[in-house]
């Protein structure tokens, strides 16, 4: 399988000084997701990139989870879902390109639009924009996923 990950460099309006903008931090976490997907690193994705939180609820409302996970979700369930998606992608996609096309920040929430183009193993093509919801957590920006039930 050939995968090329392209990430747009989105930066804040100003230049110079003090710390990364929200857009830069969001770009970094989405790029970390691309890298984790490319390498199949479920542990990295589940510990440093994703946060399990239902829309409208902060992630810290749950009880302490395993291994210091403050979102109350089982790291094993996240890793299992990530690995299943990775296997599906490896079996069904022969060429993949993804990049951030826009970021909209509203307080402690944001949406990153990721443009993806892929070719399936059957030769068909898909081009789509996928919104990723993000939350600002004490550990930085994380991509919101809902607990599957």
**CA 69 from centre of chain:** 17
pLDDT score, position 58: 61
Averages of pLDDT over each 10 residues, the chain, 149 residues? 42 46 96 93 93 69 39 70 90 92 96 96 95 95 79
Q: Which residue's structure tokens are 């542990």?
A: 43
The DSSP secondary-structure symbol of 146 reads P
Tokens for 85? 């998606």
CATH number of the domain bearing residue 62? 3.10.450.50
What's the whole-model pTM score? 0.74
* Cβ-based burial of 3 (10 A; exposed 0-12, middle 13-18, buried ≥19): middle
Question: How many distinct structural domains can be found in the chain?
Answer: 1
pLDDT score, position 136: 95
**CA 64 from centre of chain:** 22
Give 57's contacts (C-beta < 8 A, 6+ positions apart): none
Q: Which domain holds residue 42?
A: 2-145
């Amino acid at each position: 399988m050939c995968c090329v990950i392209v990430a747009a460099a989105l930066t804040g309006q100003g230049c110079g000084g003090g710390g990364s903008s929200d857009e830069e931090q969001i770009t970094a976490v989405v790029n970390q997701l691309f890298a984790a997907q490319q390498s199949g690193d479920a542990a990295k994705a589940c510990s440093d990139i994703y946060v399990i939180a239902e829309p409208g609820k902060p992630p810290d409302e749950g009880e302490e989870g395993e291994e210091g996970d403050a979102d109350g979700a089982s790291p094993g369930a996240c890793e299992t879902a990530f690995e299943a998606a990775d296997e599906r992608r490896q079996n069904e996609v022969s060429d993949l390109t993804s990049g951030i096309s826009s970021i909209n920040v509203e307080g402690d929430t944001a949406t990153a639009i990721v443009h993806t183009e892929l070719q399936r193993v059957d030769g068909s093509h898909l081009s789509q924009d996928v919104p990723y919801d993000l939350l600002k957590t004490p550990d930085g920006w994380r991509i919101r996923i809902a607990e599957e039930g």
